[in-house]
Amino acid sequence: MKKLLTFVIALSAVTALVAQPRAEYPRPQFERSEWINLNGEWSYQLDLVNTGFDRKLFDSRGFDDKIIVPFCPESKLSGVEHKDFITGIWYHRTLQVPAAWAERRIMLNFGAVYYESEVYIDGQFVGRHTGGSDSFAFDISKFVADGKQHDLVVRANSDLRSRTQGAGKQSLRYNSFGCLYTRTTGIWQTVWLEATSDYSLDYVQVITDIDQRQVVITPRYYNTLSTNTLTVNISENGKVLAKKSVTTVEGMPVVIPFRNFKTWSPEEPNLYDVEYIIKDKDGNVLDRIKSYLGMRKIHVDGNKIYLNNKPYYQRLVLDQGFYPEGIWTAPSDEALRHDIEMSKAVGFNGARLHQKVFEERFHYWADKIGYLCWGEYASWGIDEKSPVAARNFLSEWSNIVVRDRNHPSIVVWTPFNEVWWPDNVQYPRLVEDTYKLTHALDPTRPVNSVSGGVLTPFYDICCMHNYEQDPAKLKKIIYNGGKLFNMHSYTKTPTISSGNVPTGDMLDKAPLQTTEYDGRRPYLMDEFGGIKCLEANPVPDIEGREKQSSWGYGNSAVTKEDFYKRLEGQVDAILDLQDLVWGFCYTQLTDVEQEENGLYYFDRRPKYDAERLRSIFAKPLKTSEDKE
C-alpha cells in the first residue's frame, strides 16, 4: 500500500508538471532550488476604458474569466484570443508561501509584462514597473505570511500608439499588415516565487578574460555583512577547476585565475558550471546559486569582427521570435531549442534577434548548442525625438543589457533598427547616450547603434539593409555603400520642417550632422533576401483576401528552383565582397503571419531542402589562392 501511495504521489507530480505551461526554471544562469512556478490558470478582466481603479479591481478575490499564464490574451494558448487593442487588463490568482520559507526573503519575479504593470497583494500596493521586455522582481516578504493564502492581483496597461513605448513588430493598426503582426499585452513570460536571504546575491557580472586566463565576477548583493563570505566554484563534470572565497563587499570584483580552459564557439560550445555560495560567520548557507559560463572573447579589429582572437565571419538569419499560437511566447522550452536547431541545419552560425527581446531560456539554448546572437530592442513604434520615449527606452534597455550580458552566445548589441533622422537634435543625442550607456554596462561587446539606419558618430559596426532582388544590382549597391562611404545615400533622408516639430523649435533649424562610414570598422549586410516563392507560398484564391495578406520583398520567385538560383546569386554577391563586407543576415528564418518569406513555414514545417540551403549559406570564404 505504501509503494502504491508513493507511486500515485509521484504520478500526480509528473502530471502536474506536464499540465503546467512553461514549467522549466526561467533563469538558467541564476538558478535557485527553492522556487514556485506561478504559471497556469489565472482569472482576468479587461479594462479597456481604465475604470479598474474606480471599481477597486486591485482588491479583487477573483475575476469571472480565465486565462493561461504566461501567454498573452491575444494568443490562442492563453484561451482568450482577444485581437483588438488591449489598453488595460487585470489578473488574479491566489498564492501561498510554504511554511518552510519562514524567515526568508520572498521574491516575486516576472519574466516580462507588456507594458506598464502594478502588483497588489490583498489589496495592498506592492510595486510598479515600466517596460514591456525586461525582467523585474518585488520583495513581497512583508505582504505575505507563511502558510496563509493571499490574493495576488497584477494590472497591466499599454498605450501602443502613444509612440512612447517600444512596440517592435506589433501592429499599430487593428489588423496585421506588411511586416507588422499581432500584438502582445500583459504577462507574456513566466511568473515565479523564490526564497532568498536578506544577504543573497541580486545579480553578478561575469567577464571571461581569455587573454589573461581569468574570470572576473562582480557581485551585487541585497545587503552585505563583513562577516559573510562568497565562494565561487568553477567546475566541469563535477570536478572543481577554479575556486575563490572573498568577503562580501558591494561592487568589488572577484578575480579567479583560470588557466586550462576550452573556449566557447558555435563549433565547440564549451561551458563550465559555476556555483555561488554565500555563508555567514558560522558557516550557514545563506544563498546558493547554480550558473554556468563560456570562455569567449568578441572584439572588433579594423573592419573585421573577431571571435577568440580569430577573424570570424558571421552567417546570420533574421529571427523575429513569433509563434502561431503563442505570439511572443514560445509554446514550450523545446520550441526555443528547435528554432536554433532549424537555423543551424540550413547553414547559419547565429541570428539577429529582430525587434524583440528574447527570453532567457532562448539564450540558454544558444549557449548550450553554440549559436551567435545579436541582442536587439523592440525599438519600432517609439518616437526617437520624444524625451519621454527616450526616458522609457534608456531604463528598459539598461535592464536588458544587465540581465543578458553574461550569455556567451550574445556577441553584439543592437538598440535601434532603421531610424532615418526623425530630428537633428534629440535623436542623435539619444543614440550617443545609448552607445555610451551600453558600453558602460557591458564593455566587452561591440554596439551596432542603428541597424540599417543613418550613422551617427557613435557606432562600432556599420550595417546595411537592402532587398534588391537582382544579385548583380545588389552587389553594386553593397559595394557603393561601403566603398563610397555614404551609408545613407541610397535612401532619401526625410526633411525636417515645422510640419513635424513645433514652429520655431530648434529641432527644425539645427544643422544635420551626417556621418560617413570610414572603412575602419566592420561593415555587414545585416538584412537582405526576403525572397517569397509562389510555389512554396501560393496565394490562395479567396474572395475578399487583402492584397498584402501574403507579403514578401520585391517580386516573388515563381518556382523553388528560381528561389534557389536567386538566393545563391545574392549570397555569392556578398561573399565576393568579403574584404569589404564581414558577414550577412538573411531575412528570415520563418514566415510570420502574412509575411511569407521565411525559410520555414510559420508552424516550423520545412519549406525548402535543408541540405541545399546549407550548401548556399555555409559556402566557405575564398582563400588568397581562390582570389588569384
Residue 456's pLDDT is what? 84
Residue 506 is given by DSSP the state G
Query: What share of the chain in percent tops pLDDT 90?
Result: 83
Average pLDDT over residues 20-29: 97
The DSSP string of 404-453 is HTT-TTEEEEE-EES---S-SSHHHHHHHHHHHHHHHH-TTS-B--EETS
Residue 513's pLDDT is what? 65
Residue 548's pLDDT is what? 46
Task: Return the half-sphere exposure (C-beta side, CA atoms, 13 A cut-off) of residue 256.
Answer: 28
Residue 147's pLDDT is what? 82
Residue 15's pLDDT is what? 37
What is the average pLDDT value for the chain, to the nearest integer?
91
Residue 563's pLDDT is what? 97
Residue 627's pLDDT is what? 60
Residue 9's pLDDT is what? 34
Any idea of the CA torsion for 220, 222, 228, 230, to the nearest 10 degrees?
A: -30
- Residues 480, 579 contacting (CB under 8 angstroms): no
Q: Confidence class of residue 483 from pLDDT cuts 50, 70 and 90? A: low
Average pLDDT over residues 514-542: 86
- Residues 318, 354 contacting (CB under 8 angstroms): yes
Residue 89's pLDDT is what? 98
Distances (CA, A) of 2 to 6, 8, 9, 10, 454: 6, 10, 11, 12, 71
- 81-140, pLDDT tens digit by residue? 999 999 999 999 999 999 999 989 999 999 999 999 999 999 999 999 999 999 999 999
Average pLDDT over residues 458-483: 90
Kindly give, in sequence order, each residue whose CB lies less than 8 Å from that of residue 191, ignoring residues fewer than 6 positions away.
37, 38, 39, 69, 70, 108, 109, 110, 111
Domains of the chain, start order: 21-196 (2.60.120.260), 201-293 (2.60.40.10), 315-627 (3.20.20.80)
Residue 549's pLDDT is what? 64
Average pLDDT over residues 526-553: 76
Top pLDDT among 114 and 625 is at: 114
Whether the predicted pLDDT of 491 surpasses 90 = no
Residue 624's pLDDT is what? 64
Whether the predicted pLDDT of 248 surpasses 70 = yes
Whether the predicted pLDDT of 58 surpasses 90 = yes
Whether the predicted pLDDT of 501 surpasses 80 = no
- 362-375, pLDDT tens digit by residue? 999 999 999 999 99
Whether the predicted pLDDT of 168 surpasses 70 = yes
What is the CB neighbour count within 10 angstroms for residue 542?
8
- Grid cell for residue 477: 549597391
Any idea of the CA torsion for 71, 44, 133, 142, to the nearest 10 degrees?
A: -120
Top pLDDT among 424 and 505 is at: 424
Residue type, 198: D
At residue 327, the 3 state secondary structure works out as: strand
Place of cell 481604465: 50
Average pLDDT over residues 365-394: 96
- pTM of the predicted structure, to 2 decimals: 0.92
Residue 520's pLDDT is what? 87
What is the CB neighbour count within 10 angstroms for residue 254?
19
Top pLDDT among 383 and 9 is at: 383
Residue 10's pLDDT is what? 38
Query: 398 phi and psi, to 5 degrees?
Result: -60, -45
